[in-house]
Every structure is written in structure tokens, then in C-alpha cells.
């Protein structure tokens, strides 16, 4: 007889493992979600608040703008009253754009905006706010980029208001003598653009100096010296190398070239192209210095 065939044992469904017992009073903590990336617009908004929270910002920019427009009105009224006494040679060399922004007015503009630029970063280091900022945003490049963007945008707006405001009031007064200019006249747009760019250029230079020195008084004094005092003493020299050095300063370029409807041509004086190059290089180098210093130095 053959043995009966063997049958496999019945399959039983797997049973679920019992839940892990937890100790009474303890709860399972959820896994923390990944932190969202910081958006540039949020950094921009934060830097915007920081800039306008400085007591010096509104005072220097607001009062300074009104002061510059007032100086343009006073200078234009003086010329309007004295115009009948101008001789033929004096009238032939007269430049109506000189009433909009004089050398003294530009000095005040560059000192004020350069000081605001320096205080925008020095004040953050002095108050310790920079530690909070870099703790919240460890990446330092976006913080610097947002600060530069806010400062450049605000100062460009201020410079535009000053440029157009002083031009408008001065030429309206001078038009009573028939010597006023319009925006479409030759050379006017270039001068207006140069006048407007003085504010952001000065502010970014001040930012770089402030990041380098981290001292309120030292940064403001140095910014004023580099922007206005030092180039204010320069005059054309017989040494071309000295003239080339002078041509590197924005204030000297503005005074000797960009502020004039018809710039004088001379090897000792900057050209329009050289002047625009200096206007470009100074803020670019200042921003580069700011990035390097903020990245490498501890707070």
C-alpha cells in the first residue's frame, strides 16, 4: 500500500505587529519640517525697514533735498536780478545749468548721502542687529545684496528728485530772462543724469567705507573726505599721471566735465567716457569690498 499524500498545512494570514507601547506621559514628537528658503523680497523688506528706522535717514534726505532746492532758487534769483549787469563775455560763457546744482550743493548732496550709506551698515554693527540678521539668514551674500538694492533704489529716487527739482525751479526762474533751458536741449539730459547718480554713487561708497571701518565717526569722516574734501583740492596739473589720478574721483569728474553742457577738451581734464567709467567703478568696487568684509569678518 502506498502512503497517503501529504498535504501542506493551511496558510494563516500574517498578523499585524502590535503597536509599540509608549510610556505613559510621553508623546511622539513629529519630525521637524525643513525651513523654507528666505525670499529676496523678504530680505529687501527687512532692509527697507532698517534703513528708514535710522534717525538720520529721514532728516538728512528730507531736509537735505529741500535745502538743495532752496539753494537753487536763491542762486537763480540772484542771477535773474543781476542779469542786466552781465557783460557780453560773461553772458557768452554763462551756463544756466550751474544754477541747478552748484559745487557747494553737490558737496552737501554727496556728504549727506555718503553718510547715510555709511550709517546703514555701521549702525547695524554698533547695535548688534547684524548678529540677529546673520543668525536668521546665515548666507551673507543675500543680506548684502538686499542692503545694496534698498540703498541704491532709495538714493536713486532721492537723486532724481534733487536733479529734476533743482532743474525745474532754476530754469523756471531763468526763463523770465529768456535764458532758461528745457530737458530736450543739447547736453541737459546728460547733466541731469549725472546729478541724479551722485546720490547712489556716494551712498554705496559710504556703505563700503562703513563696512571696512565699522566705526560711526570714522566712517562718516572718511566718506566725506574721500567723496568731497580730497577731490575738491585737485586742479589740472602739468603731470599727466596726476591728472589721471584726479580723473578717478566722481566729484572731480562731475565738476570738471559732467556738470557742463559743453565740457572743455584738454588732456588734463576728464572726458565724458572717463567720467562715466569712474561713476561705474566706484560703487562696484564699494559693493565688492562690502561683500568681502561681511563674509570674512566675524560679527
Q: Which segments in the chain show pLDDT lower than 70?
A: 1-36, 298-299
Sign of CA dihedral 242, 248, 252, 253: positive
Sign of CA dihedral 108, 48, 150, 117: positive
What is the distance between the alpha carbons of residues 5 and 19, in angstroms, rounded to a whole number?
41
pLDDT digits 0-9 by tens, 221-269: 999 999 999 998 888 888 899 999 999 999 999 999 999 999 988 988 9
Q: Are 90 and 187 in contact (CB under 8 A)?
A: no
Nearest to 140 by CA among 113, 121, 127, 162: 121
Name the residue ranges covered by the structural domains of the chain: 40-82+94-296
pLDDT at 28: 52
pLDDT at 297: 77
Q: Which pTM was predicted?
A: 0.84
pLDDT at 135: 80
C-alpha cell of residue 124: 547695524
pLDDT at 21: 47
pLDDT at 171: 96
Alpha helices in the chain (DSSP H): 40-53, 55-58, 64-82, 88-92, 103-127, 129-136, 140-174, 188-213, 216-224, 230-232, 240-246, 250-253, 272-296
pLDDT at 299: 64
Query: Quick one: DSSP state of residue 101?
Result: S
What is the distance between the alpha carbons of residues 274 and 12, in angstroms, rounded to a whole number?
90
Amino acid at each position: 500500500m502506498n502512503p497517503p499524500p501529504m498535504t501542506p498545512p493551511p496558510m494563516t494570514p500574517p498578523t499585524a505587529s502590535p503597536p509599540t507601547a509608549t510610556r505613559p506621559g510621553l508623546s511622539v514628537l513629529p519630525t521637524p519640517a525643513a525651513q523654507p528658503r528666505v525670499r529676496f523680497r523678504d530680505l529687501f523688506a527687512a532692509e527697507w525697514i532698517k534703513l528708514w528706522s535710522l534717525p538720520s535717514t529721514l532728516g538728512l534726505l528730507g531736509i537735505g533735498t529741500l535745502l538743495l532746492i532752496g539753494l537753487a532758487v536763491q542762486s537763480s534769483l540772484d542771477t535773474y536780478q543781476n542779469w542786466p549787469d552781465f557783460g557780453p563775455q560773461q553772458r557768452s560763457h554763462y551756463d544756466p545749468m550751474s544754477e541747478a546744482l552748484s559745487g557747494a550743493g553737490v558737496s552737501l548732496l554727496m556728504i549727506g548721502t555718503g553718510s547715510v550709506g555709511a550709517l546703514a551698515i555701521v549702525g547695524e554693527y554698533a547695535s548688534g542687529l547684524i548678529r540677529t540678521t546673520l543668525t536668521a539668514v546665515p548666507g551673507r551674500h543675500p543680506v548684502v545684496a538686499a542692503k545694496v538694492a534698498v540703498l541704491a533704489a532709495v538714493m536713486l529716487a532721492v537723486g532724481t528728485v534733487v536733479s529734476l527739482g533743482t532743474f525745474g525751479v532754476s530754469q523756471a526762474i531763468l526763463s523770465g530772462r529768456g535764458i532758461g533751458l528745457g530737458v530736450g536741449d543739447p547736453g541737459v539730459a546728460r547733466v541731469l543724469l549725472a546729478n541724479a547718480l551722485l546720490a547712489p554713487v556716494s551712498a554705496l561708497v559710504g556703505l563700503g567705507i562703513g563696512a571696512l571701518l565699522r566705526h560711526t565717526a570714522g566712517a562718516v569722516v572718511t566718506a566725506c573726505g574721500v567723496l568731497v574734501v580730497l577731490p575738491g583740492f585737485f586742479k589740472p596739473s602739468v603731470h599727466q599721471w596726476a591728472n589721471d589720478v584726479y580723473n578717478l574721483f566722481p566729484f572731480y569728474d562731475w565738476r570738471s566735465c559732467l556738470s557742463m553742457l559743453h565740457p572743455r577738451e584738454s588732456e588734463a581734464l576728464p572726458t565724458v567716457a572717463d567720467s562715466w567709467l569712474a561713476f561705474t567703478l566706484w560703487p562696484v568696487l564699494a559693493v565688492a569690498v562690502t561683500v568681502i568684509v561681511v563674509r570674512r569678518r566675524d560679527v
